[in-house]
Amino acid sequence: MAHLNHPAALHRHTLSTSPVRNPTNVAERQDIPLHLLALIISFIDDVADIARLTRTSRLLYYMTLPRLYERVTLRSYTEMRYVNGKPEGYGSGSPFSMGLNALVSRNFTNYVQNFRVLGEWKESDIEDFSKGRVPDNSMMLNIALRAAIDKMQNIQSFGWELNTKPMQTVYQSLNSRSTLTSFTLRSPSRRIPRPTVLIPPIPNLKILKVYDIDPLCYPDDISMLLVSSKKLQDLTLHWSPRMRDMGEESVNMLTYFGRCMTNKHTMKLKRLSLYNMYTRNGGDFDDCISHESLEEVTFLNCMGSGDPMTVFLDDTWRINRPDKVPVNLKTMRGDLVDEAHTLFMARFEGLERIYHVSQKRSARSKSNSVATTPATPSPSSASPASTPLNHDTVHLASDYLAAIQTHHGRTIRHLLLSDRWALSADVISQLARSCPNLEQLGIAIREPSPEAMRLVVSYAPKLFALRMLVRPGSELADKLDSMDPEMHQLAMGTEMWRPEYANLRYVGFGDLVFELGATISMGKKRAKPDGDVRFMRVVKLVSRDVVRHIEIWERDSFEMLA
């Protein structure tokens, strides 16, 4: 945006609005039409650029101010941070408190559409909770936030991601905001007695995300919010992984969906995401979700017979398997593949995206519980290559691939398979032939070779991202680690100049990511003995951040997606 902020670039436009007149150049003035100016401003995303534009002229100030305050995020830190040797907010309060004060006291709060508070709030007098009283520090925070939210007449999304709980006063303000459609709530992670609030209805709520839920940390009750949100389309429930790591069955689905069951309310969700769920299946949960409207599901670190931490609860999930099939399901993301899942895949058609998460969850989450860590390790802490492939695993992989090819091959566009399924060239050929519309593919190849890659791209001409998975700790992983990345670049450049690779833009080998550029001629000096000119594809080693927007990389994670 530097070119827009330069005085020469805005000279003709700012003369009419600048408080300083220059009579000698008035005849040269040519105003930019306001609708074109508004269109240009709509494409500016950087907050610093927008702030600089507000200081350019009076007109640009009033036109860009709504964009400047469209998204507001206040972050709190427990420790004092320093800039040039001085504390942030030197001479006044912390940036968090001063930003909150500006929202309450100034007249631009109506411009706010997306409001988010996050970070670590430094609580004081927390012993007051055990005496039955909310500390003044926490109460004043909630009062100030309510005062700010009450002024946000156009707020569309609100995120409470502080490490302390919101009080009833904040929920009452959200209840009165008819424009609010998205709500994100971070549950507390400290076992301090706190008021448990029954969250009131939010009239037009469409997106609800609640994470870090821990029944022992006094989370608020969302059951009323679920049963009253008739327009809810996107639901994400993320429990703390502590219960699963500890084998602690402290989650009861009636706590969350009991009101829906009692009122026989079926939520018409389009997207359902569940993380770290460790509970029994009573069979009633299936009736709370409309299978006709469901388009995307995510189940990560949830039920599964392959997990020793859930083996004692699996009977309830096997007995109470869902009878209904989501006929309009388009996206599936998870870390579990078992026989029941394979049979489920064969009961409907039309999937477009399948993401099997192979990346393991990070180390055990810390807990305030005095219980000791169980001796049996969870799958997330086991050695990645410690479990050998057996006949049952190979048979399961074969059935899973058959279900994809038979029922979803013509519609599948994104496919990320398990890194434990090292496929042969013949299997890859059959898979690519059955899925001609593939755009992104992540597979483990038994013997990576140019021939195997040609089979993929020849049968999937729309493919632009190919990721070859390598299981950590395997023999192939050790071999790749011993090779210089430049050797990969040279080999790929020599191979991928061919016409069949023309649409391919990104290739991954294990943790390495390569970006493919243009095809260039090597010149007559490097021609082949028969006189033909050699060609080379420009290949560049890039960081993982370059492909973070590509789903076969982005969704191979246990992290919650935005």
pLDDT digit string (tens) for 537-553? 899 999 999 999 999 99
* Residues 546/548/553/557 CA torsion (nearest 10 deg): 140
Q: Which helix (H) or strand (E) covers residue 110, if one does? A: none
Residue 541: half-sphere exposure toward Cβ, Cα within 13 Å: 12
Task: Report the largest interatomic distance among the alpha carbons of the chain, rounded to a whole angstrom.
Answer: 91
Q: So where are the chain's domains?
A: 1-68, 69-232, 402-554
Q: How confident is the model at residue 367 (pLDDT cuts 50, 70, 90)?
A: very low
State how far the Cα of 297 lies from the Cα of 333, in Å rounded to an integer.
6
pLDDT digit string (tens) for 499-518? 888 899 999 988 889 999 99
pTM across the whole model: 0.85
Between residues 490 and 157, which one has the greater pLDDT? 157
Q: Is the pLDDT of residue 407 over 70?
A: yes
| Alpha helical stretches, state H, 79-135 | 95-105, 127-130
Q: What average pLDDT score do residues 358-370 get?
A: 49
Query: Three-state DSSP class for 4?
Result: helix
Q: What average pLDDT score do residues 156-177 get?
A: 95
Q: What average pLDDT score do residues 48-54 get?
A: 90
Please report the DSSP string for 157-225 in residue order.
Answer: EEEEEESS---HHHHHHHHT-TT--EEEEEPP-S----PPPBPPP-TT--EEEEEEE-GGG-PPB-HHH
User: Would the CA dihedral through 547, 549, 551, 557 be positive or negative?
Assistant: positive
For 94, 116, 324, 486, 556, the CA distances from 101, given in Å and listed in that order, are 11, 15, 52, 54, 40
SS3 assignment for 140-166: HHHHHHHHHHHCCCCCCEEEEEECCCC
For 442, 486, 514, 535, the CA distances from 518, given in Å and listed in that order, are 23, 18, 13, 10
Q: How confident is the model at residue 304 (pLDDT cuts 50, 70, 90)?
A: low
For the chain, the average pLDDT equals 84
494, 528 in Cβ contact below 8 A?
A: no
Burial of 467 (0-12, 13-18, 19+ CB in 10 A): buried
Residues 6+ apart with CB under 8 A from 549: none
Amino acid at 325: V
Q: How confident is the model at residue 426 (pLDDT cuts 50, 70, 90)?
A: confident
Q: How confident is the model at residue 496 (pLDDT cuts 50, 70, 90)?
A: confident
Instruction: Report pLDDT for 307.
Output: 65
Q: Is the pLDDT of residue 368 over 60?
A: no
Q: How confident is the model at residue 124 (pLDDT cuts 50, 70, 90)?
A: confident
Q: What average pLDDT score do residues 336-362 get?
A: 86
Instruction: Report pLDDT for 197.
Output: 94
Hey, what CATH topology would domain 69-232 get?
3.80.10
Instruction: Report pLDDT for 451.
Output: 81
pLDDT digit string (tens) for 202-225? 999 999 999 999 999 999 999 999
Instruction: Report pLDDT for 360.
Output: 66
Q: How confident is the model at residue 47 (pLDDT cuts 50, 70, 90)?
A: confident
326, 294 in Cβ contact below 8 A?
A: yes
Tokens linked to 452: 């195997």
Q: How confident is the model at residue 19 (pLDDT cuts 50, 70, 90)?
A: very low
Between residues 26 and 64, which one has the greater pLDDT? 64
